[in-house]
Copies of this chain bind each other. A is one copy, B any other.
Amino acid sequence: MNLREYSLEDKEKLIWQKINTKTKPLGSLGKLESLAAQVCKVQNTLTPQITNPQMLVFAGDHGLAQEGVSAYPQEVTWQMVLNFLNGGAAINVFSQQENLELQVVDAGVNFNFDSIDTSISTGKLINQKIGYGTRNSLEDSAMDTNQVKEAIERGRRLIKELVKTRSTNCLGFGEMGIGNTSSASLIFSAISGKPIETLVGSGTGVFDAALDHKIEVLQKVSNRHDLPRLFTQKSTFSALDWVEEVLSKVGGFEIAMILGAILQAKEDSLLILIDGFIVGAVVLLAHHLDSSVLENCIFAHVGNEKAHRSMLEFLKADPLLDLGLRLGEGSGAALAFPLIQAAVNFMNNMASFESAEVSEASKP
């Protein structure tokens, strides 16, 4: 049954009619029910399917990393990319478990992957390098506007290509980039008007004095680029100009590329599985450009990064998991995937009260 011709109201009615006649008490599958309804609406069907689900991990470096905003040195970005290619990271383990194809995109890592003599297949890495890391946003804008445009465009092209070649209809988004929780906090501040110091968390693990230092650095970055003023100008700029302005100031390459990818995924009616705080910050930007993008977004989890919960509340998003994760890479997205599969499966495979000849509840 193709629901495309129906009004949104009629779609909802048909979908919930199907959910509510399954052999279970009304509402008893909780969030899985609203998830099933969302998938049906995105796919315009009462018999949804997940085909060739895939994880995409975008990696990029951040000039701001040199200010000591992360517990790890910048080189960890490329080292972890190699770890992804070697199959040794959490996202590899979880993707493999859930039969999710995993691809890693070099959006702008500060490393020449062609240079290494290695037995691993660097050919698995999708080279979309915009540059060798962004500039330090404490001293300069992180990117030129044309780099931002190029990153968004390449993100879009990647998804077009994927849809064409693999007929995937469900994409999970993850990232790797030492310093990128800083970009995410700055983006959240610019878009929400919340003071930057309330949005800074431990990232990969900065605590106490190191966290105070991170907060101080991000306050300086915010002042340098006058993010509070940018916030007040949100409705005077064109949405795209405004988003490009924010991205050029605070980065990063992988964030801009994910933005393009998510916008294209929405246009192609894919399910968009959102991982943690950084990919969430991309959704903030995507939502500013096109609020309907949320129709396709499934928020995998709320993590332990300080402002993640308030970011999800800002988006009125209801995450599936709450496991205290703060790893990134798309790990939360991969872990939430079986819940999406379960929502689809109960919709297709559970009996109805009628078909199973089970008595219904007495009407109150």
Q: How far is the CA of A362 from the CA of B209 in the complex (A)?
A: 13
Q: Are B358 and A79 in contact (CB under 8 A)?
A: yes
A322 to B323, CA, bound (A): 10
- Within A318-364, the residues touching B (CB, 8 Å) are 320-327, 331, 335, 338-339, 341-342, 345-346, 349-351, 355-362, 364
For A348, give the chain B residue with the smallest CB separation.
B93
A72 within 8 A of B: yes
Among A27, A29, A75, A209, find the residue whose CB has the most chain B CB atoms closer than 10 A: A29
Q: Tell me the A152-174 residues at the B interface (CB within 8 Å).
A: none
Render A71-104 as a binary contact track against B, CB cut-off 8 A, 1 for contact.
1110110011011001011101110111000000
Least CB separation from A334: chain B residue = B342
Closest to A78 in B: B358
Q: Looking at the complex, which of A130-138, A200-208, A215-223 is the stretch in contact with chain B?
A: A200-208
Q: Is the CB of B325 within 8 A of A93?
A: no
B30 x A342 contact (CB < 8 A): no
Q: Is A123 an interface residue (CB 8 A)?
A: no
A315 close to chain B: CB less than 8 A: no
A30-B324, A361-B71, A362-B73 known; A356-B23 Cβ under 8 A: no
A92: which B residues are within 8 A, CB to CB? 349-350
Query: Mask for A166-200, Cβ within 8 A of B = 1, else 0?
Result: 00000000000000000000000000000000000
Check if A89 sits within 8 Å of B23, measured CB to CB: yes
The answer to whether B93 and A326 have CB atoms under 8 Å apart is: no
Known interface pairs A24-B327, A25-B326, A345-B97; A79-B356 also in contact (CB < 8 Å)? yes
Q: Of B88, B326, B338, B345, which is within 8 A of A28 by CB?
A: B326
A255 interfacial contact with B, CB 8 Å: no
A359 and B30 in contact, given A93-B346, A94-B345 (Cβ under 8 angstroms): no
Residue A13 CB within 8 A of the other chain:
no
Question: A26 on the interface (CB 8 Å rule)?
Answer: yes
**A100, chain B: closest CB distance, angstroms:** 12
Chain B residues whose C-beta falls within 8 Å of the C-beta of A326 in the assembled complex: 25, 27-28, 30
Contacts of A29 in B (CB 8 A): 90, 323, 325, 327, 331
Given the interface contacts A357-B79, A358-B83, does A341 sit within 8 Å of B30 by beta carbon?
no
The reply to whether A72 and B30 form a contact with Cβ atoms under 8 Å apart is no
Complex: chain B residue closest to A339, CB-CB = B335
A18 in the interface, Cβ–Cβ < 8 Å? no
Q: Once the chains bind, are A80 and B358 in contact (CB under 8 Å)? A: yes
Counting CB contacts under 8 A, is A31 at the interface?
yes
**Which residue of chain B has its CB nearest to the CB of A97?**
B345
When chains A and B are docked, how far (Å) is the Cα of A72 from the Cα of B355? 17
Point out the residue from B25, B80, B83, B355 that lies within 8 Å of A205, measured CB to CB. Answer: B25
Contact of A327 among B25, B324, B351 (CB under 8 A): B25
Q: How far is the CA of A96 from the CA of B346 in the complex (A)?
A: 11
Task: Output the least CB separation between A304 and chain B (Å).
Answer: 6
CB<8 Å pairs between A and B, sample of 12? A23-B90, A27-B205, A31-B323, A71-B361, A71-B362, A82-B357, A83-B358, A88-B350, A89-B351, A205-B361, A210-B364, A321-B321
